[in-house]
Amino acid sequence: MAGWGSETHMPHSPTVEKLEKQFEELRSQLEDSGKLRERIRAVAMEIESATRLMHSSLLLIHHSRSISDILEKVKQQIGVLRELYNKLAEIIRECPDQYYRYHADWKSETQTVVSLLSFIHWLETGTLLVHTDAEEKLGLNPTEFGLDIEDYLIGICFMSNELPRYVVNQVTAGDYECPRKVLKFLTDLNAAFRMLNLRNDFLRKKFDGMKYDLRRVEEVYYDVKIRGLAANRESAGKEGDP
Amino acid sequence: MAGWGSETHMPHSPTVEKLEKQFEELRSQLEDSGKLRERIRAVAMEIESATRLMHSSLLLIHHSRSISDILEKVKQQIGVLRELYNKLAEIIRECPDQYYRYHADWKSETQTVVSLLSFIHWLETGTLLVHTDAEEKLGLNPTEFGLDIEDYLIGICFMSNELPRYVVNQVTAGDYECPRKVLKFLTDLNAAFRMLNLRNDFLRKKFDGMKYDLRRVEEVYYDVKIRGLAANRESAGKEGDP
Amino acid sequence: MAGWGSETHMPHSPTVEKLEKQFEELRSQLEDSGKLRERIRAVAMEIESATRLMHSSLLLIHHSRSISDILEKVKQQIGVLRELYNKLAEIIRECPDQYYRYHADWKSETQTVVSLLSFIHWLETGTLLVHTDAEEKLGLNPTEFGLDIEDYLIGICFMSNELPRYVVNQVTAGDYECPRKVLKFLTDLNAAFRMLNLRNDFLRKKFDGMKYDLRRVEEVYYDVKIRGLAANRESAGKEGDP
Amino acid sequence: MAGWGSETHMPHSPTVEKLEKQFEELRSQLEDSGKLRERIRAVAMEIESATRLMHSSLLLIHHSRSISDILEKVKQQIGVLRELYNKLAEIIRECPDQYYRYHADWKSETQTVVSLLSFIHWLETGTLLVHTDAEEKLGLNPTEFGLDIEDYLIGICFMSNELPRYVVNQVTAGDYECPRKVLKFLTDLNAAFRMLNLRNDFLRKKFDGMKYDLRRVEEVYYDVKIRGLAANRESAGKEGDP
């Protein structure tokens, strides 16, 4: 067993000095990545704060029919989000190739952002916000700092979770057309998701939850139909605008 | 609520087609990253298999004094590991900048690799295998596919966990010098770790475990001293054979 | 205590060599069955993938009345399934008598297959797909690689789980005949299941779930009757279109 | 949707009759396999009973030095076990190729049997009972009703769990040689197990437990050595019989 010979009882033998030197370097590197992470977390918390405001405003949609006013207010925060994602991208630019090293630090917030943007988009257009449009809305440059596909899909699942409640409240407010529209949207979305081979366990679980959203909306639609509430509107809808 | 106009009852409206097109693309991308991950996992499992063989051979060190023969056999696997890490690096070369996207798929195996390499290195030299030397032993090119610092540090903690048992067995076999040497090494290592600001929870926990290793070795050293076993041997040991 | 005499301190005594030889053999046998299992899992995952596509297409049945088109598309996958089960049977042919050793590796997928085939069959005929017909559809040779009875029964339970949702959606779409038909089918199926002495815990639990399906369909039938929706339509339905 | 036409409201339509006929057959088949399982369970419980007696007698080994008397008594039960396994094999002969269908019904008992047989064998010879010898002791014909490899290995792990306690009690009784012998045996056994790629989670967990047995025995050996208790014996042992 060679090597022991160089060991002495002095507190700062060459061996110990080498050890200390390496740990000094590691300390510095860990410190650097730790500080970077703190900066990222600070921005992520600002994103979280902005989404909380958006969510709070957007919730009014459940008990109001003046959607456009509400959306106008909510959409003001999108500019804030753009700036914050721009900040994030700048930080990541400092450590090329390490997007996924720090990804866990903003992914949950980003999933919420996607859920809000896609809900707004659906309220405005009745269609799904696609991945590239979500990136564009956030001012993301996909070659540099893109929107992770799984974050996008999980955000869409979260959006779906909002829809049953929206349908119930719309019907309560007298909009008997809403269940059919939402049902159509969710049915197509479910069929689309089923095309995917979901190996990500979290995403798979969220998708399982989406199936309950669909069923809940079907039940509401059923209630409306069986009571003959949708009847007139439907025939009207079939003529032109649904 | 604009946008509903484009929706029709036809099963394949333009809206649905756009949706399907996007999910077809997402499906293909998820499939690609899924296949990449499977290839990575296959190599990681080969690494695990090689480390199992190494560990099996290395365990004999606990009950044998012919260390050099054992190490010779164990070190034959290092060449195998180099090849496997080279394979991993090649796979990651296909997806630049995504080292950390797939990092979770090999990190546990790599921590074990570090623990084995550093144990071997300590047996041979009585010193700590530093991070850059670990990379070199594995033929890693740090600018392309390096050894993550936290994986390195966790591997060192695992190595530390082997030492109390080693000390116990060496004392049993009559080597009363061993506790002092290991105690010195672990004391220095502990002091070095304390320089680090450990924000990684897993690493912090593993470091907490290292403190118990130190304590156990202290107890063995105490047993040896209190029975006067170390005294004579120690002076003898200083003369020649470590 | 005899026998200790043959033990020596040499690392490779005859005793150790015998031990190593046996474990080398066991290692090889475990490796073989491990590899076989991996091949089986690979086919099982292909089966899972095919059923995912089938399910995705079949879901459209809930919101469409052109059943025949949908079924045509869904049934195309049955050929794929036949091929995959043929592959499975070939693998199992290599290890005669060990169908049940590896059964756990494909049973869950097979239960899903049965649920889909029996739902399709029910949509086409209004009757239950019997066990032997399920085997025939999958090209199984029961003397070699049959369909386990419990897998068949669990698959039927899964199919039953789909029916309440189907009834709700059919009523929503104006088919007030559907609840009565489904109720009749589920009542007979429940009575048939009750003939069985279910010792398999999982199957017993799934059958408990089937009772809720029956109850839910009863409620929908009640809604339809109490609103007088079934009456007129029913007589109309008996004349032509089921 | 064809097929509904043949349905009537009569409780025993042809459809229902076909359904009942199939379930009558399934009931009969489930009943048959249920009865078979009951017969298997009855034998398995007799095996469990015999092993309980054996274990109870074998426990005396911990506080007695007249090992041969104890072993004589314990080994009388092996004949009983042979008969019971012969019964099991006869039952399985009735349902060729279905060993693994019912395997779960005797595997736990068989693992205990292996642990006892291998402990007895170790007490008598100081070596490991190999797989084929275990089969022979139980009168098993491997081509017909063999000993599953994983059951064998798990049984060996259970045997290992008995050893630390045995060592402690032997040392208490003044046998300071015992720790070294057991340590040698467990070290070799551990190294052998590490050659295996354990994909079976239960087995892997049991093997993890075996590592603690090894460590515990090492600690006992350490205590004996550090107090100079093993000294004389060892020097004596070095001369001839260990």
Q: How confident is the model at residue B66 (pLDDT cuts 50, 70, 90)?
A: confident
Closest CA in chain B for residue A185:
B16
Q: pLDDT at residue C236 above 70?
A: no
Provide the CA C5 distance to its chain's centre, in angstroms.
59
Interface test with A, best of C49, C57, C63, C70 (most A CBs within 10 A): C63
| DSSP letters spanning B51-74 | HHHHHHHHGGGGG-S-HHHHHHHH
Residue A63 CB burial class (10 angstroms; 0-12, 13-18, ≥19): exposed
Q: Which chain A residues are within 8 Å of C170, Cβ to Cβ?
A: none
Mean pLDDT across B27-54? 92
- Which tokens hold the place of A42? 């600070």
Give per-residue pLDDT as tens, C122-181.
999 999 999 999 999 999 999 889 999 999 999 999 999 999 999 999 999 999 999 999
Mean pLDDT across A130-151? 95
Q: pLDDT at residue D5 above 70?
A: no
Flag if A18 and B130 touch (Cβ within 8 Å).
Answer: yes
Interface test with C, best of D8, D9, D12, D16 (most C CBs within 10 A): D16
B36 or B9: which leads in pLDDT? B36
Minimum mean pLDDT among A198-212, B174-188, C121-135, D102-116: which range?
A198-212
CA of B143, closest CA in chain C: separation in Å? 35
Mean pLDDT across A211-234? 84
- What share of chain D in percent tops pLDDT 90? 71
Residue type, D164: P
CA of B227, closest CA in chain C: separation in Å? 27
Looking at residue C42, its pLDDT comes to 92
| Cβ contacts of B109 within 8 Å, gap of 6 or more | B44, B47, B48, B51
The closest alpha carbon to A149, from B94, B195, A157, belongs to A157
Q: pLDDT at residue B148 above 70?
A: yes
C-beta separation of D45 from D29 below 8 A: no
Looking at residue B5, its pLDDT comes to 36
Q: How confident is the model at residue A235 (pLDDT cuts 50, 70, 90)?
A: very low
Q: pLDDT at residue C95 above 90?
A: no
C-beta separation of A147 from A140 below 8 A: yes
| Cβ contacts of B57 within 8 Å, gap of 6 or more | B70, B73, B74, B77, D191
Flag if A127 and B18 touch (Cβ within 8 Å).
Answer: yes
Mean pLDDT across C100-127? 96
Among chain A, residues having any CB pair with chain C shorter than 8 Å are: 183-184, 187, 190-191, 194-195, 197, 215, 218-219, 221-222, 225-227
C-beta separation of A162 from A62 below 8 A: no
- Which tokens hold the place of A157? 């699942």
Residue C235 CB burial class (10 angstroms; 0-12, 13-18, ≥19): exposed
Looking at residue A185, its pLDDT comes to 95
The C-alpha angle with vertex B38 and arms to B35 and B43, in degrees rounded to 5, equals: 135
The C-alpha angle with vertex D168 and arms to D163 and D170, in degrees rounded to 5, equals: 90
Report how far residue A142's alpha carbon sits from residue D205's, in angstroms, rounded to the nearest whole number. Answer: 45
Residue with tokens 């080693």: B166
Looking at residue A223, its pLDDT comes to 93
Looking at residue C66, its pLDDT comes to 82
Report how far residue D139's alpha carbon sits from residue D142's, in angstroms, rounded to the nearest whole number. Answer: 9
Report how far residue B136's alpha carbon sits from residue B146's, in angstroms, rounded to the nearest whole number. Answer: 10
Looking at residue B60, its pLDDT comes to 86
The C-alpha angle with vertex A34 and arms to B186 and A23, in degrees rounded to 5, equals: 30
Give per-residue pLDDT as tens, A18-28.
888 999 999 99
Report how far residue A213's alpha carbon sits from residue A164's, in angstroms, rounded to the nearest whole number. Answer: 6
Closest CA in chain D for residue C28:
D196
Looking at residue C229, its pLDDT comes to 83
Residue D12 CB burial class (10 angstroms; 0-12, 13-18, ≥19): exposed
- Which tokens hold the place of B85? 């890490």
Q: pLDDT at residue B242 above 90?
A: no
- Which tokens hold the place of D112? 């205990």
Q: Which chain A residues are within 8 Å of B101, Cβ to Cβ?
A: 99-100, 103
C-beta separation of C139 from C85 below 8 A: yes
Give per-residue pLDDT as tens, D65-114.
688 999 999 999 999 999 999 999 999 999 878 899 999 999 999 999 99
Looking at residue B8, its pLDDT comes to 34
Looking at residue C100, its pLDDT comes to 93
The closest alpha carbon to C198, from D29, D22, D17, belongs to D29
Q: pLDDT at residue B239 above 60?
A: no
Q: What is the average pLDDT score of chain B? A: 87
Flag if D34 and C101 touch (Cβ within 8 Å).
Answer: no
Report how far residue D55's alpha carbon sits from residue D66's, in angstroms, rounded to the nearest whole number. Answer: 17
The C-alpha angle with vertex A65 and arms to A64 and A69, in degrees rounded to 5, equals: 85
Residue C217 CB burial class (10 angstroms; 0-12, 13-18, ≥19): buried
B88 or A11: which leads in pLDDT? B88
Residue in B7, B24, B197 closest to A242 by CB: B7
| DSSP letters spanning D24-63 | HHHHHHHHHHHHHHHHHHHHHHHHHHHHHHHHHHHGGGGG
- If you average pLDDT over each of A36-40, A94-98, C64-68, which comes out highest? A36-40
Q: pLDDT at residue A49 above 90?
A: yes
Report how far residue D34's alpha carbon sits from residue D95's, in angstroms, rounded to the nearest whole number. Answer: 13
Q: How confident is the model at residue D49 (pLDDT cuts 50, 70, 90)?
A: very high
Domains recognised in chain A with CATH numbers: 15-230 (1.20.58.2140)
Looking at residue C5, its pLDDT comes to 35
Flag if B130 and A4 touch (Cβ within 8 Å).
Answer: no
The closest alpha carbon to B158, from B217, B199, B207, belongs to B207
Report how far residue D199's alpha carbon sits from residue A240's, in angstroms, rounded to the nearest whole number. Answer: 62
Mean pLDDT across C193-200? 87
Q: What is the average pLDDT score of chain D? A: 88
Looking at residue D107, its pLDDT comes to 96
Looking at residue D84, its pLDDT comes to 97
Q: pLDDT at residue B235 above 70?
A: no
Mean pLDDT across D4-32? 76
Give per-residue pLDDT as tens, C18-32.
888 999 999 999 989
Q: What is the DSSP letter of B196?
A: S
Closest CA in chain C for residue B31:
C49
Q: How confident is the model at residue C4 (pLDDT cuts 50, 70, 90)?
A: very low
Q: Which chains touch B (3 or more CB pairs under 8 A)?
A: A, C, D
Q: How confident is the model at residue A102 (pLDDT cuts 50, 70, 90)?
A: very high
Looking at residue A6, its pLDDT comes to 41
Flag if D149 and C26 touch (Cβ within 8 Å).
Answer: yes
In angstroms, what CA-CA distances link D9 with B27, B63, C23, C181, C197? 47, 82, 67, 10, 28
Q: How confident is the model at residue C65 (pLDDT cuts 50, 70, 90)?
A: low
CA of D80, closest CA in chain C: separation in Å? 25
Mean pLDDT across B187-195? 93
Q: What is the average pLDDT score of chain A? A: 88
Flag if B172 and D218 touch (Cβ within 8 Å).
Answer: yes
The closest alpha carbon to D216, from D174, D154, D165, belongs to D165
The number of C-alpha atoms within 13 Å of D124 and in the hemisphere containing its C-beta is 15
Report how far residue B126's alpha carbon sits from residue D65's, in angstroms, rounded to the nearest whole number. Answer: 45
In angstroms, what CA-CA distances link A210 with A196, C56, C211, D28? 14, 14, 24, 41
Looking at residue A236, its pLDDT comes to 36
Flag if A218 and C56 touch (Cβ within 8 Å).
Answer: no
Closest CA in chain A for residue B129:
A19
Sequence length of chain A is 242
Q: pLDDT at residue D2 above 50?
A: no
Looking at residue D78, its pLDDT comes to 96
C146 or D6: which leads in pLDDT? C146
